[in-house]
Amino acid sequence: MATNSKTGDTAKPGNTAKSGAAKPAKPAKPATIALNRKARFDYVIEQEFEAGVALQGWEVKSLRDGRAQLKESYVIIMRGELFLIGAHFSPLRSASSHIDADPTRRRKLLLHKKEIGKLIGAREQAGYTIVPLSLYWKRGRVKAKIALARGKKQYDKRHAIKQREWQRDRERLFKLRR
Mean pLDDT lowest for which of 16-30, 78-92, 121-135, 136-150?
A: 16-30
122-131 residue pLDDT tens = 888 777 888 8
83-98 residue pLDDT tens = 998 888 877 777 666 6
Q: What is the pLDDT of residue 56?
A: 82
**Mean pLDDT along residues 59-64:** 81
Render the chain in DSSP notation, one character per residue. Answer: -EE-TTT--EEPTT--PPTT-PPPPPPPPPSEEEE-HHHHHHEEEEEEEEEEE---HHHHHHHHTT-EE-TT-EEEEETTEEEEES-EEPPPTTS-SSS---TT--EEEE--HHHHHHHHHHHTSTTEEEEEEEEEEETTEEEEEEEEEEEPPHHHHHHHHHHHHHHHHHHHHHHHH-
Give yes or no for a contact between 143 and 135, defined as CB atoms under 8 angstroms apart.
yes
Residues 162 and 168: their CA atoms lie apart, in Å, by: 10
pTM: 0.66
Q: Among 64, 31, 37, which residue's Cα sits nearest to residue 131?
A: 37
Residues 109 and 64: their CA atoms lie apart, in Å, by: 19
Q: Which domains does the chain have, with CATH numbers?
A: 29-152 (2.40.280.10)
Question: What value does the mean pLDDT of the chain take?
Answer: 78
pLDDT of 15 above 80 = no
**Mean pLDDT along residues 20-46:** 73
